Chains A and B, each alone.
Chain A
Amino acid sequence: MAKILLVEDNEMNRDMLGRRLEKRGYQVAIAADGPTGLALARSGSPDLILMDMSLPGIDGWEASRQLKADPATAAIPIIALTAHAMAEDREKALAAGCNEYETKPVELTSLLAKIELLLPKKPGA
């Protein structure tokens, strides 16, 4: 079962997305701010991270940069979640090292496709 770390400060979005992912068979870990997200990413060895960009404490861009700069966590794919639909935000997220980008409101089918695409492939694929 794939482990997904969801870093999101908005309680409703966190609850909703977490439950919907669990319903589809993912194991979901939750963090409500940047520092907790970083700690869980390092200790919980998730297979993939969903990272909100506007987080309190350490924002999503900075958290992604730190994770991608650390050899221990650099390989974990990160999907950036942001409410900004501007192209510059997408570029900013990719520049911070995020592997993908999803605009809020999250379109679940699209997000699931991206998750499946980024989850580490089984050997031989």
Chain B
Amino acid sequence: MLTTIQQRDAELVVAKNNAEKARERLAEINAMLEEANRTLEAKVAERTVELHKAMTAARDANQAKSSFLAKMSHELRTPMNAIIGYAEMLIEDATDRADAGAIADLRKILSAARHLLGLINDVLDLSKIEAGKMDLYIESFDVCTLVHDVIPTAQPLIDRNKNQLKVDCPENFGTMRADATKLRQILLNLLSNASKFTEEGVVSLEVTRDQTGPREMIVMRVSDSGIGMTPEQMGRLFQVFSQADKSTSAKFGGTGLGLAISRQFARLMGGDITVTSKMGEGSAFTIRIPSEVAPVKATPDGETAAPAKETSTPAAVAAAPVPTPASPPRRGRVLIVEQDEVVTTMLQDLLGREGYLATVARNSEEAVARAREISPHVVILDIQLPGADGGNLLTQLKTHPLLANVPFVMLTLSDNAKGGLAFGAADCVTKPIDGPRLLAILAKYSAARSENSIMVVEDDAPTRNMIVRLLEREGWPALQADNGKVALALLEQHTPSVILLDLLMPELDGFAVLRAMRAHAVWRDIPVVVLTSLDLTAEVRGFLEQQAERVLQKGSYSRDELLREVRDSVEEFMRRTGRSNPPFHSRPTAPASILS
């Protein structure tokens, strides 16, 4: 019995010792873990700093690349300017002397110089695309007119290899909204490729609409009966500086950049270019572009916010931008000056759902830049931006000519509300933001400024008064400007639904007004009806055709007829833009009808 107890005691002592050892070991491990943890945290911090440095370096490098290319393009263009210009001059002189030998040689210089210039432009285009700096200029145009515009340029290439060009574009095909210049460039590239690789064959261009998908697509198919390609060649086709094989450039010329650029342009517009080909039988390139391309603005940090590419997978369809007709009516443009991303995201969501276009700026410089782009109807300003005195910031922005007449809504903590109003804010909203209250305030200010007015820009007072009276009789309020300068000043404050524009005016003429408008992010969407007594040359008419919705020549009408034409045009545009909604980033489809 006693031995049993002694045995137990001994066992207990052993067990106790073991437990003691285990605890010591645990403490040791714990210390080690703590140490490892500390090291790890230090390492993570270290790596984060390194990563941050690497990212900054990469961004700087990318920026350096962009500015290098911009500078290079300038440096390269200047001598090209001289080479092309002198060659043209010498050809003029040689033509005067009828010196056929010199003309032929000089033409070779000119052609090589133009080729080199094309190369420079291609490289520049490509670098702009890569840097996310390629803008789209979206406009409405007649599809077949564009197609037929390209043909005269493509024809010499087609003829060179004794090919035949077949174009199939139904006359009443209609219009699309896209970047016409880029589409023209794509078409020209594909047609020139097709004719390069085809001899005594047929190059065809066929234009159709595809309405089977979620978005209507315009399909342009360029096919040839040329040499065709193997699958491997097709795989490399759209890569930069890549041609079907090394000998291609020697035999057929070209830079290997054209297709890469064309595809990037198509993708930028939310479409794509695809190819099918069979060795020895020919190739077919298919361009698919949405009939309504969503606008893309190059972003300053280089990431181009391109619209989702058209594909048939359900996820991509859901992510595709909503076509214009389905989006809610545009209520106005709001500039949000705020640094807190949580707040800006929330505000953009809220305002976007309600049909406002909300743009964010993080400081006063950005605010002025954005204001220049969008001419906001209302500014929402956080008065507690770090590093800035809210009152000062408000005064500074309010006194800027661009924003002087724009109502400011302040975001404040409750005790600052009075301060904001004292500095000239129109209203105050306290944080956390009460959504419905903010919307009610915005509705008040943007409604006051969104108008159905028509601007009449005409220096001849009797004509102007006559038109204004006519418009008012029809129930359309008119804004009046007696020259272009006044018109542009008025545009800073108002967004009329239609502008009636005379061409010859003192101070600033109608041409300059059109140019300024079309270069402006918001004004360029306002339809313009040109009224002129000028006898237009083809050149001028071509320019106006691109820049204005309609041209009415005063001399071709009696007074009553002219007034009727004005009224009909205005009515048409008002109806198209929706009379309750001012035009907003949606240039109406308008075949430019020119009366000469």
A residues lining the B interface (CB < 8 Å):
10, 12-13, 16-17, 19-20, 23, 54, 83-87, 90-91, 94, 99-101, 104-106, 108, 113, 116-118, 121, 125
Contacts and interface: CB of A to CB of B under 8 A. Distances in A.
Interface stretch (B77-85, B212-220, B566-574): B77-85
Interface stretch (B5-13, B413-421, B449-457, B509-517): B509-517
Interface of B: 70, 73-74, 77-78, 80-82, 84-86, 88-89, 92, 117, 121, 124, 135, 504, 509, 511-512, 515-516, 519, 534-535, 539-540, 543
Contact of A85 (B121, B519, B535): B121
A105 B124 contact: no
B515 A105 contact: no
A23 B92 contact: yes
B85 A105 contact: yes
Given A12-B82, A94-B516, A87 B89 contact: no
Contacts of B70: 84, 86
A105 B519 contact: no
A39 B512 CA distance: 25
Contact of B519 (A19, A91, A99): A91
B540 A117 contact: yes
Contacts of B543: 117
B578 to A, nearest CB: 29
Nearest to B113: A105
Nearest to B539: A113
Nearest to A107: B84
Contacts of A125: 504, 534-535
A42 B124 CA distance: 38
Contact of A108 (B88, B124, B509): B88
Contacts of A17: 85
A101 B511 CA distance: 12
Interface SS of chain B: helix, strand, loop or mixed? Answer: helix
Contact of B85 (A13, A83, A85): A13
Nearest to A93: B519
B532 to A, nearest CB: 11
6 contacts: A10-B82, A13-B78, A13-B82, A83-B73, A83-B78, A121-B504
Most buried by B among A20, A83, A106: A83
B115 to A, nearest CB: 13
Most buried by A among B74, B81, B519: B81
Given A83-B77, A105-B77, 8 more contacts: A12-B82, A13-B81, A16-B89, A23-B92, A83-B73, A83-B78, A85-B121, A105-B80
A19 B89 contact: yes
Nearest to A125: B534
A85 B89 contact: no
B43 to A, nearest CB: 44
A116 B540 CA distance: 10
B528 to A, nearest CB: 16
A100 B515 contact: yes
